[in-house]
Structure 1
Amino acid sequence: MSEEEVQFLCHGEAMFTPTELEELFSLINQPDFFDPASPSSFGSHGSNRAVYSTHERKIRRKQSNRESARRSRWRKKRHLENLTNQLNRLKAENRELKNRLGLATQHNMLLSFENEHLKFESTNLRAKLLDAYQILGTMFSQ
Protein backbone atom coordinates (compact mmCIF):
# COMPACT_ATOMS: atom_id res chain seq x y z
CA MET A 1 0.00 0.00 0.00
CA SER A 2 1.38 3.40 -0.89
CA GLU A 3 1.94 6.29 1.49
CA GLU A 4 -0.94 8.20 -0.14
CA GLU A 5 -3.32 5.31 0.53
CA VAL A 6 -2.20 5.15 4.19
CA GLN A 7 -2.77 8.90 4.60
CA PHE A 8 -6.18 8.54 2.95
CA LEU A 9 -7.13 5.75 5.40
CA CYS A 10 -5.98 7.81 8.35
CA HIS A 11 -7.54 11.11 7.14
CA GLY A 12 -4.18 12.82 7.33
CA GLU A 13 -3.66 11.93 11.00
CA ALA A 14 -1.22 9.39 12.39
CA MET A 15 -3.78 6.99 13.85
CA PHE A 16 -1.49 3.95 13.65
CA THR A 17 2.24 3.46 13.80
CA PRO A 18 3.85 1.89 10.72
CA THR A 19 4.31 -1.37 12.66
CA GLU A 20 0.65 -1.43 13.64
CA LEU A 21 -0.39 -0.78 10.06
CA GLU A 22 1.78 -3.64 8.79
CA GLU A 23 0.26 -5.98 11.37
CA LEU A 24 -3.26 -4.86 10.50
CA PHE A 25 -2.70 -5.30 6.77
CA SER A 26 -1.09 -8.71 7.28
CA LEU A 27 -4.17 -9.82 9.20
CA ILE A 28 -6.55 -8.46 6.57
CA ASN A 29 -4.57 -10.12 3.78
CA GLN A 30 -4.81 -13.56 5.38
CA PRO A 31 -6.90 -15.85 3.14
CA ASP A 32 -9.38 -16.81 5.86
CA PHE A 33 -9.76 -13.31 7.37
CA PHE A 34 -13.37 -12.83 6.26
CA ASP A 35 -14.34 -16.49 6.67
CA PRO A 36 -16.59 -16.68 9.79
CA ALA A 37 -15.95 -20.44 10.11
CA SER A 38 -12.22 -19.91 10.42
CA PRO A 39 -10.87 -19.85 13.98
CA SER A 40 -8.56 -16.96 13.13
CA SER A 41 -11.24 -14.84 11.49
CA PHE A 42 -11.84 -11.25 12.55
CA GLY A 43 -15.25 -12.09 13.94
CA SER A 44 -14.01 -14.73 16.35
CA HIS A 45 -10.64 -13.46 17.58
CA GLY A 46 -9.88 -10.00 16.23
CA SER A 47 -6.29 -8.86 15.97
CA ASN A 48 -3.82 -10.39 18.38
CA ARG A 49 -2.54 -6.92 19.17
CA ALA A 50 -6.01 -5.68 20.16
CA VAL A 51 -6.55 -8.74 22.38
CA TYR A 52 -3.09 -8.34 23.89
CA SER A 53 -3.65 -4.64 24.48
CA THR A 54 -7.00 -5.27 26.11
CA HIS A 55 -5.51 -8.05 28.19
CA GLU A 56 -2.55 -5.86 29.05
CA ARG A 57 -4.88 -3.02 30.04
CA LYS A 58 -6.83 -5.40 32.28
CA ILE A 59 -3.63 -6.58 33.91
CA ARG A 60 -2.43 -3.01 34.42
CA ARG A 61 -5.84 -1.99 35.75
CA LYS A 62 -5.85 -4.94 38.19
CA GLN A 63 -2.34 -4.07 39.32
CA SER A 64 -3.33 -0.43 39.72
CA ASN A 65 -6.42 -1.45 41.70
CA ARG A 66 -4.31 -3.72 43.92
CA GLU A 67 -1.84 -0.91 44.52
CA SER A 68 -4.66 1.52 45.25
CA ALA A 69 -6.25 -0.98 47.65
CA ARG A 70 -2.87 -1.50 49.34
CA ARG A 71 -2.44 2.26 49.78
CA SER A 72 -6.00 2.52 51.06
CA ARG A 73 -5.39 -0.26 53.60
CA TRP A 74 -2.14 1.44 54.65
CA ARG A 75 -3.92 4.80 55.12
CA LYS A 76 -6.71 3.07 57.05
CA LYS A 77 -4.13 1.31 59.26
CA ARG A 78 -2.28 4.59 59.92
CA HIS A 79 -5.59 6.34 60.67
CA LEU A 80 -6.56 3.56 63.09
CA GLU A 81 -3.15 3.77 64.77
CA ASN A 82 -3.52 7.55 65.10
CA LEU A 83 -7.01 7.14 66.57
CA THR A 84 -5.73 4.46 68.98
CA ASN A 85 -2.87 6.72 70.09
CA GLN A 86 -5.29 9.61 70.50
CA LEU A 87 -7.66 7.37 72.50
CA ASN A 88 -4.83 6.24 74.80
CA ARG A 89 -3.66 9.83 75.27
CA LEU A 90 -7.19 11.02 76.05
CA LYS A 91 -7.76 8.12 78.48
CA ALA A 92 -4.53 9.03 80.30
CA GLU A 93 -5.55 12.69 80.37
CA ASN A 94 -9.00 11.69 81.64
CA ARG A 95 -7.43 9.61 84.45
CA GLU A 96 -5.18 12.53 85.38
CA LEU A 97 -8.12 14.95 85.43
CA LYS A 98 -10.20 12.51 87.54
CA ASN A 99 -7.30 12.19 89.99
CA ARG A 100 -6.96 15.97 90.18
CA LEU A 101 -10.72 16.33 90.66
CA GLY A 102 -10.64 13.72 93.43
CA LEU A 103 -7.77 15.54 95.19
CA ALA A 104 -9.52 18.90 94.77
CA THR A 105 -12.75 17.42 96.16
CA GLN A 106 -10.89 15.98 99.18
CA HIS A 107 -9.12 19.30 99.71
CA ASN A 108 -12.46 21.10 99.48
CA MET A 109 -14.01 18.75 102.06
CA LEU A 110 -11.07 19.25 104.44
CA LEU A 111 -11.35 23.03 104.07
CA SER A 112 -15.11 22.85 104.61
CA PHE A 113 -14.61 20.86 107.84
CA GLU A 114 -11.91 23.29 108.95
CA ASN A 115 -14.18 26.23 108.10
CA GLU A 116 -17.05 24.71 110.10
CA HIS A 117 -14.67 24.09 113.02
CA LEU A 118 -13.42 27.70 112.85
CA LYS A 119 -17.00 29.00 112.72
CA PHE A 120 -17.87 26.91 115.77
CA GLU A 121 -14.72 28.12 117.57
CA SER A 122 -15.51 31.72 116.60
CA THR A 123 -19.02 31.38 117.99
CA ASN A 124 -17.64 29.96 121.25
CA LEU A 125 -15.04 32.74 121.54
CA ARG A 126 -17.69 35.41 120.92
CA ALA A 127 -19.83 33.86 123.59
CA LYS A 128 -16.87 33.91 126.03
CA LEU A 129 -16.06 37.52 125.06
CA LEU A 130 -19.67 38.49 125.62
CA ASP A 131 -19.56 36.82 129.03
CA ALA A 132 -16.33 38.67 129.80
CA TYR A 133 -17.92 42.02 128.80
CA GLN A 134 -20.90 41.25 131.01
CA ILE A 135 -18.63 40.41 133.94
CA LEU A 136 -16.61 43.55 133.36
CA GLY A 137 -19.79 45.56 132.98
CA THR A 138 -21.09 44.24 136.27
CA MET A 139 -17.79 44.96 138.01
CA PHE A 140 -17.63 48.57 136.82
CA SER A 141 -21.25 49.25 137.47
CA GLN A 142 -20.90 48.44 141.19
Structure 2
Amino acid sequence: MTERNLTGRTFRPWTYEVGIEKIREFATALGHGEACYFDREVARSMGFRDVVAPPMFAVVFCKWMGPAVRHPDVGIDYARMLHGGQEFEFGAPVCHGDVITTSAAVADVYAKRDLEFFVFSSHSANQFGETVADGRWTMIVRGSDGQA
Protein backbone atom coordinates (compact mmCIF):
# COMPACT_ATOMS: atom_id res chain seq x y z
CA MET A 1 0.00 0.00 0.00
CA THR A 2 1.11 3.56 -0.64
CA GLU A 3 2.54 5.07 2.50
CA ARG A 4 3.34 8.46 0.98
CA ASN A 5 0.73 11.19 1.14
CA LEU A 6 0.12 12.01 -2.52
CA THR A 7 -3.16 13.90 -2.06
CA GLY A 8 -2.88 17.36 -3.56
CA ARG A 9 0.18 16.52 -5.65
CA THR A 10 0.05 18.39 -8.96
CA PHE A 11 1.76 17.58 -12.23
CA ARG A 12 3.12 19.58 -15.13
CA PRO A 13 0.32 20.50 -17.57
CA TRP A 14 0.31 19.10 -21.11
CA THR A 15 -1.22 20.40 -24.34
CA TYR A 16 -3.11 18.81 -27.19
CA GLU A 17 -3.87 20.44 -30.54
CA VAL A 18 -7.25 19.28 -31.84
CA GLY A 19 -7.16 17.99 -35.41
CA ILE A 20 -10.15 17.73 -37.71
CA GLU A 21 -9.41 14.14 -38.75
CA LYS A 22 -9.07 13.01 -35.13
CA ILE A 23 -12.53 14.47 -34.41
CA ARG A 24 -13.97 12.67 -37.43
CA GLU A 25 -12.30 9.37 -36.49
CA PHE A 26 -13.50 9.64 -32.90
CA ALA A 27 -17.08 10.46 -33.92
CA THR A 28 -17.08 7.56 -36.39
CA ALA A 29 -15.69 5.12 -33.82
CA LEU A 30 -18.49 6.06 -31.39
CA GLY A 31 -21.19 5.87 -34.05
CA HIS A 32 -21.97 9.59 -34.04
CA GLY A 33 -23.33 10.57 -37.42
CA GLU A 34 -24.24 14.19 -36.73
CA ALA A 35 -22.95 16.42 -39.53
CA CYS A 36 -21.40 18.96 -37.13
CA TYR A 37 -18.70 16.37 -36.33
CA PHE A 38 -17.71 16.07 -39.99
CA ASP A 39 -18.73 19.18 -41.94
CA ARG A 40 -17.24 22.61 -41.25
CA GLU A 41 -20.10 24.55 -42.83
CA VAL A 42 -22.75 22.67 -40.88
CA ALA A 43 -20.83 23.20 -37.65
CA ARG A 44 -20.47 26.92 -38.34
CA SER A 45 -24.16 27.23 -39.22
CA MET A 46 -24.86 25.79 -35.75
CA GLY A 47 -22.73 28.48 -34.09
CA PHE A 48 -19.46 26.56 -33.62
CA ARG A 49 -16.08 28.00 -34.70
CA ASP A 50 -15.31 24.89 -36.77
CA VAL A 51 -15.99 21.15 -36.78
CA VAL A 52 -16.93 20.36 -33.18
CA ALA A 53 -15.83 17.32 -31.16
CA PRO A 54 -18.26 15.06 -29.30
CA PRO A 55 -18.11 15.79 -25.55
CA MET A 56 -16.34 12.52 -24.67
CA PHE A 57 -13.45 13.61 -26.90
CA ALA A 58 -12.09 14.71 -23.51
CA VAL A 59 -10.61 11.22 -23.14
CA VAL A 60 -8.41 11.97 -26.17
CA PHE A 61 -6.91 15.26 -25.00
CA CYS A 62 -6.59 14.07 -21.41
CA LYS A 63 -4.55 11.07 -22.65
CA TRP A 64 -5.46 8.91 -19.65
CA MET A 65 -4.12 11.53 -17.31
CA GLY A 66 -0.73 11.47 -18.96
CA PRO A 67 2.04 12.50 -16.61
CA ALA A 68 -0.01 12.06 -13.43
CA VAL A 69 -0.78 8.36 -13.76
CA ARG A 70 2.69 7.51 -15.11
CA HIS A 71 4.68 9.63 -12.66
CA PRO A 72 7.20 7.47 -10.74
CA ASP A 73 6.31 9.12 -7.41
CA VAL A 74 2.75 7.83 -7.79
CA GLY A 75 4.09 4.33 -8.37
CA ILE A 76 1.12 2.67 -10.06
CA ASP A 77 1.92 -0.90 -11.12
CA TYR A 78 0.35 -1.13 -14.60
CA ALA A 79 0.34 -4.92 -14.53
CA ARG A 80 -2.12 -4.71 -11.63
CA MET A 81 -4.06 -1.59 -12.63
CA LEU A 82 -7.76 -1.51 -13.50
CA HIS A 83 -9.60 1.50 -14.86
CA GLY A 84 -12.15 2.14 -12.11
CA GLY A 85 -14.08 4.98 -13.67
CA GLN A 86 -14.16 8.48 -15.03
CA GLU A 87 -16.59 11.33 -14.99
CA PHE A 88 -16.62 14.75 -16.60
CA GLU A 89 -18.26 18.13 -16.29
CA PHE A 90 -18.17 19.72 -19.72
CA GLY A 91 -17.75 23.41 -20.47
CA ALA A 92 -17.09 25.18 -23.77
CA PRO A 93 -17.28 23.03 -26.91
CA VAL A 94 -14.00 21.71 -28.32
CA CYS A 95 -13.45 22.54 -31.99
CA HIS A 96 -10.89 21.77 -34.67
CA GLY A 97 -7.82 23.95 -34.15
CA ASP A 98 -8.25 24.36 -30.41
CA VAL A 99 -5.19 23.96 -28.23
CA ILE A 100 -6.24 22.28 -25.00
CA THR A 101 -4.09 22.48 -21.89
CA THR A 102 -4.79 19.90 -19.20
CA SER A 103 -3.51 19.90 -15.64
CA ALA A 104 -3.92 17.10 -13.14
CA ALA A 105 -3.68 16.45 -9.43
CA VAL A 106 -4.05 13.54 -7.05
CA ALA A 107 -7.44 14.02 -5.39
CA ASP A 108 -7.25 10.99 -3.09
CA VAL A 109 -5.47 7.70 -2.46
CA TYR A 110 -7.06 5.06 -0.25
CA ALA A 111 -7.16 1.32 0.28
CA LYS A 112 -9.97 -1.20 0.64
CA ARG A 113 -9.01 -4.78 1.36
CA ASP A 114 -6.16 -5.57 -1.02
CA LEU A 115 -7.11 -2.82 -3.48
CA GLU A 116 -5.55 0.61 -3.70
CA PHE A 117 -7.60 3.44 -5.23
CA PHE A 118 -5.92 6.39 -6.93
CA VAL A 119 -8.31 9.25 -7.67
CA PHE A 120 -7.09 12.01 -9.98
CA SER A 121 -8.72 15.28 -10.94
CA SER A 122 -8.13 17.08 -14.22
CA HIS A 123 -8.86 20.52 -15.58
CA SER A 124 -8.74 21.24 -19.31
CA ALA A 125 -8.99 24.69 -20.88
CA ASN A 126 -8.76 25.96 -24.45
CA GLN A 127 -6.51 28.68 -25.87
CA PHE A 128 -9.07 31.31 -24.81
CA GLY A 129 -8.84 30.23 -21.16
CA GLU A 130 -12.32 28.69 -21.24
CA THR A 131 -12.84 25.47 -19.30
CA VAL A 132 -13.71 22.66 -21.68
CA ALA A 133 -13.77 19.78 -19.18
CA ASP A 134 -13.15 18.99 -15.54
CA GLY A 135 -12.60 15.32 -14.90
CA ARG A 136 -12.30 12.79 -12.13
CA TRP A 137 -10.46 9.52 -12.83
CA THR A 138 -10.22 6.46 -10.61
CA MET A 139 -7.54 3.83 -11.09
CA ILE A 140 -7.59 0.67 -8.98
CA VAL A 141 -4.46 -1.35 -8.30
CA ARG A 142 -4.98 -4.98 -7.33
CA GLY A 143 -2.75 -6.39 -4.61
CA SER A 144 -0.55 -9.43 -4.58
CA ASP A 145 0.33 -11.56 -1.60
CA GLY A 146 -1.97 -9.43 0.50
CA GLN A 147 -0.28 -6.20 -0.60
CA ALA A 148 -1.56 -3.67 -3.12
Does 1 or 2 have the higher relative contact order (CA < 8 Å, sep 6+)? 2
**TM-score, normalised to structure 2's length?**
0.22
Higher share in helix: 1
